[in-house]
Structure 1
Amino acid sequence: MPIGEIETHPYLQQGQITGATKLILGSFPVYEYTDHDNAIKQQNRQHEGSVRFFYGSIDSGLWGLYSKHLDNLILLPPDPSLIIQSLAQRQIVISDTIASCERHGLSSEDSKLIRRSYNREGIQSLIQNGVRKILCTSKGVLKDLEKQIISNGNNPLGEVDTALSENFQADFIAGLGGNHKHITSPISKVFWIGNYQVTALAIPSPGSPQRQLARFGFNGLDWRGYADHYFINAFEWLEQ
């Protein structure tokens, strides 16, 4: 990819759901899915069988979890039109925190995304129009939600309630049989936006949760069972 190339998010509007009360929030698409589109990106998508949509990989970990825990009619590879219908039925909107950025190499890691322009107005609008639960696809997304979207600048949208955040985190991890004292950076935040609450919960990477479970309260026994239980409880919480 060209050095200094600014990539833009091509489908932030595609995931909009009128009347949504819940939000699945990611960071930014991988290189093959962003604008400006080019022949290399098109060739890679064709070779991989991926689609230009949120988590559009042919074997998407996120949509695999969504199918398993919320709607088993959603199959892989993901079909955006069917996913949007399913999301609308459940009053769930999907979006990303970053609207444009520069990428070091072809990495999909959030740490390699620089010169970021955040989707601040878009996400703030979703919250102001009814979103009360946010499922973040990583701790990095949760951090950006707080620092860049809700509590940013001299005129923040809202503020964190530390006590409620810690209580929610402790209760959630206790429900998994984990230990919240192992967590060094939060998995959840409860925000006050005016006179109402918005709760955000981060999940481990859907593609490789075993590499991150120690940071999500894992007790050291049966990582697969703990990961499965985490995802079950997280998606049940979102749907409630």
Structure 2
Amino acid sequence: MSRTPTSSQPDSRRSAPDDVRLAEMKRRRRHGLIALILSDLRSYVYHVHWHRVSQYPAWRRPLVVLGVVLRFDTLWAVWAFRWKRFFLDWHVPLVPRVIDRFMAVAYQVQIGDHVFVGPGLYLPHGFVVIDGIVEIGANCVLSTWVTLGLRSSSTDGFSFMGPQVGDGLWVGTHSALIGDIRIGNHVSVGAHSMVIHDLPPLCTAAGAPARVIHRVKDGVVERVDPPSRN
């Protein structure tokens, strides 16, 4: 599970310098390259075929997996990022830059050097941008035209810190999560939303700026911000 703090939890680390927090993110990583690649493949198979895979006969399952690999360009983009992260960790020169260009031109996916992504990332389509010092938990879904990145303002100044995201995030198309914010586990962000503040776990947020409209409390979904009837 991700260690990303929720908005209801004070986080003393937020006041630490950017380079210190970047080092903390690197230390928290526990998954090897092959494990991450396989987890991404499982995530794509799950989202494309849902629970039906277990119902398929044994002879058909390898064909299903092969079909996913050949069909989804973004899976190759995610795998390219895994290799880029691997070469960055081993301080291999030039190769990460080549992978960057390849991802941007071939798949319209741009993921920065200081982005750390947990297992099982799923990108249904391209045109995804992630930059800054960003940490993403396990089993997250980022739809097309989604941005996770930096925020600059006259009051808060500029920081290289981007969002820290828990496990199970789902982000709808044309949405952005920007700035030094914390997103709890199992959060859904509606399409065309702009998230600039922390979000608690087990909630749905929408709007620009995004507000919590549903949350799960004691196993029951509650409406927090009912839509206007006007």
TM-score of the two chains, using structure 1 as the length reference: 0.28
Per chain length, whose mean CA-contact separation is higher, i.e. which structure has more relative contact order (CA < 8 Å, sep 6+)? 1
Relative to its length, the structure with more helix (as a share) is: 1
